[in-house]
Amino acid sequence: MITIQAKLTFSSKEDEQAVADLMRRWSSCMRYAYNRLLEGSSRNTLKRELQGVFNLNSRYVDDAIMKAKSVLESCRERDENPSKVIFGGRSLFDKLKKRHINGKAYKKLKQEWQERRKGNLYSRGDRSKKGNLNTRIEIYENGARLRINVGERKYAYARIQAGWKKGKSREGLLQAIST
């Protein structure tokens, strides 16, 4: 498995908005799946239901259910109450709930919490499908781009800026991908 931390830059606002909408729907789907799993719903029942509710393909829905299941299992392993999970971070939520700050600082804190709550997308690849069908890295002469399936055979493209966080270079990323 290869995990890459990279910054994505979009060439158009439409692509950026489409991906933001996809991440919002996927995050909502994951939270909804988590709550249905708490109630005892089965994966197969959820998969059929969630595709229509959130307008996501079966791979995105399956990954959302898997992620929700892992959060639930992790919570149970730590002997925590699974019904008290707060998506987006408990510490940020507690700060927002206290309302001890006002104005711009409060809006900034609320925006950060919303981004952590709604800004997620998880997509696994499959060896039999030669990788990931929803998010695929395409290498061009001027760099790498991430092709993101935003629905109904529509794709958004983002330039990958690897190494923006931990001092890794783009060349190192491209080597890791090609091997």
Summary mean pLDDT of the chain: 87
Task: Please report the pLDDT score of residue 179 as a whole number.
Answer: 47
Domain count, the chain: 1
Q: Write out the residue range of the structural domain in which residue 172 sits.
A: 6-115+126-178
Q: Is 20 a domain residue?
A: yes
Mean pLDDT computed over 83-91: 91
Going by DSSP bridges, is the β-strand pair 143-151/6-10 parallel, antiparallel, or unpaired? unpaired
Q: Is 120 a domain residue?
A: no
Q: Is 143 a domain residue?
A: yes
Q: Is 1 a domain residue?
A: no
State the residue for tokens 């760099």. Answer: 143
Task: Please report the pLDDT score of residue 139 as a whole number.
Answer: 87
Q: Is 149 a domain residue?
A: yes
Going by DSSP bridges, is the β-strand pair 154-162/135-140 parallel, antiparallel, or unpaired? unpaired
State the residue for tokens 């996927």. Answer: 26
CA proximity to 170, closest of 122, 178, 38, 81:
178
**pTM across the whole model:** 0.83
Three-class secondary structure of residue 140 per DSSP = strand
Confidence of residue 143 (pLDDT cuts 50, 70, 90): confident
